[in-house]
Chains A and B, each alone.
Chain A
Amino acid sequence: MIERIAELTGNEIYRCYQCQKCSSGCPFAQYMDFPPAVIIRMIHFGMKEKLLSSETIWVCASCETCTTRCPNEIDIAHIMDALRQECVREGFKPAGKNVYLFHSAFMSSIKSYGRVHELGMLGKYKLKSGNFFDDLKLGYDMYKKGKIKLFPHKIKGMRDIKKIFKKIIN
């Protein structure tokens, strides 16, 4: 596990001396099953199953506070990205199912149009997650204010976008 993550994100991960600076500054630690410093330790210990099925990796909001503060220049936010990607690649069930479904819907919108079409993207997310009724009133309010477009804008350079998505693994 550690070799794989080091390969994806750099060898700095070996430098962690568990100072807990990342955990204490993380604005989302209280919602995680393992705070960021523990995640790093778990990688050291090779606890793959626990890591890839943890809530933490889907709660992390990519705020980059940990990465900015780590005294050993360990890019913890990047490691969280790598763990999310490994989770999907290795066929684990993402513990933050809705977060995963949202990102997938977002990416599929880019794949279709080159840009994000909010209405279509949210529709797809709702269909897959089953959260039909959340934020419906809010969505309608925003539509009335002219913030939500009914139809997507497709870019001209869709060939470039197709090429990019060909290279995608997950």
Chain B
Amino acid sequence: MKVGYYPGCSLESTAAEYNESLKEICSMLDIQLNEIRDWNCCGATSAHCLDEKASFLLAARNLEIAEKTGMDLVVPCSGCFSRLKFAEKNALSNEKYKGMSTFRGSINIIDMTALLSGSTVLEAMEKKLVKPLKGMKIAAYYGCMSLRPPKITDAPDHDNPQSMEKILAALGAEIIPWTFKTFCCGGSLAITRTDIVRDQVNRILDMAAESGAECLVTSCPMCQSNLDTREDEVSRQFSREIYIPIFYFSELIGLALGSGNAGSWFMKHQVDPRKLLSEKGL
């Protein structure tokens, strides 16, 4: 399978392990990721807060580049995905943006978890499984942006998404059902309102532990970094010991498919997941 690939700024910095693990597992699964040339920042949460037109045009430029390749565009970052989908929908059907972009809608914009939870990919994953994640109690955490609003994202079940659960099931993990999988962590306030963010992170980690999860798995770089970097502060602020590693779903796929590089991804986390993994014999 050949697809266009829009990594986005986070995957080149704070989510480097997401990018590295994705590239590796995609090559293991015979998915060719073709990074679109000279892409720009999608505008993230900042552009739409300050200027709507800019938020549309920044995202639309990437769609125009991707469309020229003729390949569907896969987007790993939930934030980028939501902005590119926003531009897609508005370029095609909003009078306000008419004539502002040459994007014609001849390619699809696909969320990475949707691509990797497709049935043929799952079959390939099951065939290549060398280290099943047996006994690992995992809750999938999606956050907001790959899901809401469904009118923009086309998410099939925005209140109870299943793409990561399907993947985790194929990897042999024990899936923990819980109610906080789409609760917002406050990622857009991560730097500016750490007071609020610590409250939200505390709520999410608390609910995960209550539900019996030993770790969380996510596809959103803002969620991962928000939860991973604030966990230690939250432990101290709320005087309780928390140890819940936050994985990218691609890292767990890599681990289960026997990648030799998994250790180098885990080293980049603030909450070191290797303690949990060694307890599980992984």
Interface, chain A (partner B; CB < 8 A): 8, 27-28, 31, 59, 61-65, 67-68, 75, 77, 81-82, 84-85, 88, 96, 98-99, 101-104, 106-107, 109-110, 114-116, 118, 122, 125, 129, 134-135, 138, 141-142, 145-149, 153, 155-157, 160-161, 164-165, 167-170
Contact = CB atoms under 8 A, between A and B. Distances in A.
B38 A156 contact: yes
B54 A165 contact: yes
Interface of B: 9, 12-14, 16, 38-41, 43-54, 57-58, 61, 144-145, 148-150, 158, 183-184, 186-189, 191-194, 196, 200, 229, 267-268, 270
Given A62-B48, A62-B49, A115 B184 contact: no
19 contacts: A59-B196, A61-B189, A65-B144, A65-B148, A68-B149, A68-B150, A99-B189, A101-B192, A103-B46, A106-B44, A116-B9, A129-B192, A135-B194, A146-B16, A149-B12, A149-B13, A157-B61, A161-B58, A169-B53
B184 A169 contact: no
B227 to A, nearest CB: 13
B51 A61 contact: no
B54 A99 contact: no
B51 A170 contact: yes
Please provide the 10 A-B residue pairs with the shortest distance between their CB atoms, ordered closest to farther.
A63-B184, A64-B148, A106-B46, A103-B46, A114-B40, A164-B57, A98-B192, A116-B9, A63-B144, A68-B149
Contacts of B39: 155
Contacts of B148: 63-65, 67-68
Given A68-B149, A146-B268, A147-B13, A164 B188 contact: no
Nearest to A81: B48
A107 B54 contact: yes
Given A61-B187, A157-B61, A167-B57, A107 B13 contact: no
A110 B58 contact: yes
Given A155-B38, A165-B54, A102 B46 contact: yes
Contacts of A160: 40, 61
Nearest to B229: A138
Contacts of B47: 107, 110
A77 B151 CA distance: 13
Secondary structure at the A interface, as helix, strand, loop or mixed, is helix
A131 B215 CA distance: 32
Contacts of B189: 59, 61, 99
A134 B198 CA distance: 14
B13 to A, nearest CB: 5
B53 A167 contact: yes
A103 B144 contact: no
A169 B51 CA distance: 7
A62 B54 contact: no
B208 to A, nearest CB: 16
Contacts of B184: 27-28, 61, 63, 65
A61 B144 CA distance: 10
A106 B222 CA distance: 15
B53 A110 contact: no
B229 A99 contact: no
A82 B191 CA distance: 22
B144 A64 contact: yes
Given A68-B150, A118-B14, A155 B54 contact: no
Contacts of A148: 13-14
B188 A61 contact: yes
A148 B13 CA distance: 6
Contact of B192 (A67, A81, A102, A157): A102
B245 to A, nearest CB: 15
Nearest to A63: B184
Nearest to B40: A114
Contacts of B40: 110, 114-115, 155, 157, 160-161
A153 B52 CA distance: 25
